[in-house]
A = this chain, B = another copy of it.
Amino acid sequence: MRLSRFSDLSLRALMYLGTHPDRWISSGELAERMSVSRDHLMKTLQSLSDAGHVQSKRGREGGFTLADSAGEVRIGALVRTLEPSLAMAECFEPGSTCPLTPDCRLADALAEAQRRFFESLDRYTLTDLLRANRPQLVQLGGPTR
Residues of A in contact with B (beta carbons under 8 Å apart) = 1-4, 7-8, 11-12, 15-16, 19, 33-35, 75-76, 79, 83, 85-91, 97-100, 103-106, 109-110, 112-121, 123-124, 128-130, 132-133, 136-137, 140
Q: List 12 A-B contacts (CB under 8 A).
A: A1-B7, A1-B83, A2-B87, A2-B88, A12-B100, A15-B106, A103-B136, A105-B129, A106-B129, A112-B120, A116-B117, A116-B119
A118–B121 Cα gap in the complex (Å)? Answer: 14
A87–B79 Cα gap in the complex (Å)? Answer: 16
A106–B91 Cα gap in the complex (Å)? Answer: 30
Interface of A is mostly: helix
